[in-house]
Structure 1
């Protein structure tokens, strides 16, 4: 079984623990790898849909890991008991849904020491939510797969606040570490903003003028991130 580069990075960000939960487990590949690589002693694979959960169960049985991986039909963290796991992985879903899952499952986060998150959208909002909810961001990485950029976040309990909006927009860890993929992403985003600005400058509507002002601010922020 070979993981996608995105899921490989999610697994790599996980830390050794006795028990982990894989939320939105889909095919169960991350759950399986957490066991195979001895990252987690046991895993609870959870999904809101029966179809993906059944496929995960089939894959788990094929790998002879039913004694270590338990499948649960669950809307987010609903079926996870407080103190049941030390690590939670949530990957491959939009930022707003991820925030809703974490917020609705606050009681289930008791004794959780590590979150590994891979939001598909609204990443700055995920960072803000983590800080407002008593989590500090300990690691971030960015990878590129099939032409798309993905961010993986690791968070642990603690107090943290970023002083600059730029750090919420792009991630303080990414700005600090300056990995090549992140630098590439910034340059590509800059070109996109420049193209949008040129198009809006040719339009003579109030809406275009307002949007142009917004994009120019984003472009300025992008260039600050590259410095």
Structure 2
């Protein structure tokens, strides 16, 4: 079974000998491979849609892993009991939805040892929420695949000081280890804000203050890009 780079990066962060739940599991690749390769003794594959969950169950059955991978139909963490798993994996979901699902299951979150999160958007919101939970980011990965740049976050419990505003956008660990793909991420963010600025400039109402705010974001990111090049 061959995983995409994005999913392989998330799988590589699963702590050996820990139980995981994969939320929005789709085909169930991560829990299946984690158990098949001896990384996890047990896993839970969760999906809100019956079709993908049935496909996951069939795939897991073919690998003769149904005694170790439980397939559950449900919304987020609602079908998981506190203490039932050590880590939760979210791959391919929107960041706002991930934060909502975490906020709806405080009892489960209080028993977790780690989170592995690969959001498709609103990543700065996810990072901010992690620190608001009194968790912190311990590892980050950038993965380029099929012309897309993906971010993978590994977070653990423990209070840390809030990040600088720009760190929520590019990632504190990405910056600390000077990930080779970080310039591409920064350029991507600058382009996003330039599109927003162009849209504001076309508005008929006075958008002076919002434009100033967007320009400030761009200036900070340009400065971070310059620092990256200086420190490399």
1:132-169 deviation digits (Å, cap 9, x = unpaired): 11211101111111111111000111001234111112
Q: CA deviation at 1:177?
A: 1.1
Task: Identify the residue that residue 230 of structure 2 maps to in structure 1.
Answer: none
Q: Do the aligned partners of residues 71 and 204 (structure 1) sit closer, same or farther apart at CA in structure 2, a change above 3 Å counting?
A: closer
Q: Which runs of 5+ in 2 are unaligned?
A: 228-232
State the 1:224 CA deviation.
2.5
Report 1:99-178 matches (<5 A).
99-178=99-178
CA distance in 2, matches of 1:122, 1:204: 24
Tell me: CA distance 1:23–1:30, structure 2 relative to 1, closer, same or farther (3 Å): same
Corresponding residue number in structure 2 for 1:223 = 222
TM-score, length-scaled by structure 2: 0.89
**Superposed CA offset, 1:5-44 (max 9, x none):** 1111110121113311111111101111111232211001
Query: 2:183 corresponds to which residue?
Result: 183
Partner Cα distance (1:193, 1:126) in 2: 19
Matched, 1:24 2:29: no
Any unmatched runs of 5+ in structure 1? none
State how far apart, in whole Å, the 1-side matches of 2:203 and 2:69 are: 59
CA spacing shift, 1:212–1:3, aligned 2, 3 Å: same
Once the 2 structures are TM-superposed, how far is the Cα of residue 211 of structure 1 from its aligned partner? 4.6
Change (3 A) 1:63 1:165: same
Q: CA RMSD in A?
A: 2.0
The Cα shift of 1:185 comes to 2.1
Q: Aligned partners of 1:53 and 1:187: how far apart in 2?
A: 37
How far apart are the structure 2 equivalents of 1:133 and 1:154? 14
Separation (CA, whole Å) in 1 of partners of 2:58 and 2:86: 25
Decide whether aligned partners of structure 1 residues 192 and 108 sit closer, same or farther in structure 2, where only a CA change above 3 A counts.
closer
How many residues align? The count is 226
For 2:9 and 2:27, the matched residues in 1 are separated by 17
Change in 2 beyond 3 A, CA 1:55/1:157: same
1:180-203 deviations in Å (ceiling 9; x for gaps): 112222234435655765x56975
